[in-house]
Structure 1
Amino acid sequence: MKKYNKRWMVCCGLFVSLNILPATVHAQFGDTNPDPDAPIDGGIGLLLAAGIGYGVKKVRDNRKKRTAQLH
């Protein structure tokens, strides 16, 4: 019976502490120096490179298609 009571108390204690803990603990208090500018150069560069690669592929495919139709 003591084992059951001890297990019950541990479970209740964990339940209560895990429900109260998120309300009392904060990961951050806020940004003291907000940065209004977002770095977008990496994403734009990748999109530009992908667009150029896709365009080159389409041009090559069209040229192959035209040469195959002529012969």
Structure 2
Amino acid sequence: MKIQNKRLFASILFVLISVLCVAQGPPYPGGGPPGPPGFPIDGGILMGVGVALFYGVKKILGNK
């Protein structure tokens, strides 16, 4: 098969799979997702994001 035919085949497959996934009914009774598991996102996650942002800005400004 040529590259163009393979791309067309892959695109059609992707669209068909997407349609099938949307066509399925809701997985939970009542239609909504289950509630949260009971533990909040606390300061550890937010602190990690803050450190990552600081490190990224430092690296970007350090390269100039």
TM-score of Structure 1 vs Structure 2, range by shorter chain: 0.3 to 0.5
Q: TM-score, normalised by structure 2?
A: 0.39
Q: Which has the larger radius of gyration?
A: 1
Query: Which structure shows the higher helix fraction?
Result: 1
